[in-house]
């Protein structure tokens, strides 16, 4: 995951790929809900992309953008993503939006 040219790029191997304009990230906050699985999975615009149950950040995206899951386009309204430094991601996407 990286921020470049006004876009948050999120990849999880070959299974998930999203390019989210920072201007579309309306909210970024820590999420402390219990997580029982790892990988890339979701439904109806809400997706979890994680390799850990810790350090989850919730990103609210409006207008929704498209991501690809195993090459198939999906709508992305909310993204939950695990990172090693949640505060740094929140600060970076919030300051550049």
User: What is the reported pTM?
Assistant: 0.92
Please classify residue 43 by burial: count the beta carbons closer than 10 Å to its beta carbon, then call 0-12 exposed, 13-18 middle and 19+ buried. Answer: exposed
Instruction: Summarize pLDDT for 73-96 with one digit per residue, the tens.
Output: 999 999 999 999 999 999 999 876
Q: Where are the domains of the chain?
A: 2-95
Instruction: Summarize pLDDT for 1-39 with one digit per residue, the tens.
Output: 889 899 999 999 889 999 999 999 999 999 998 888 888
Instruction: Summarize pLDDT for 45-62 with one digit per residue, the tens.
Output: 999 999 898 999 999 999
């Amino acid at each position: 995951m990286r921020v470049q040219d006004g876009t948050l790029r999120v990849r999880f191997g070959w299974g998930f790929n999203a390019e989210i304009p920072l201007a579309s990230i309306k909210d970024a906050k820590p999420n402390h809900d219990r997580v029982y699985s790892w990988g890339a999975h979701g439904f109806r615009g809400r997706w979890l992309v994680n390799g850990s149950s810790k350090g989850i950040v919730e990103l609210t995206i409006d207008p929704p953008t498209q991501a690809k899951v195993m090459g198939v386009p999906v709508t992305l309204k909310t993204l939950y993503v695990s990172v090693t430094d949640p505060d740094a991601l929140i600060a970076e996407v919030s300051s550049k939006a």
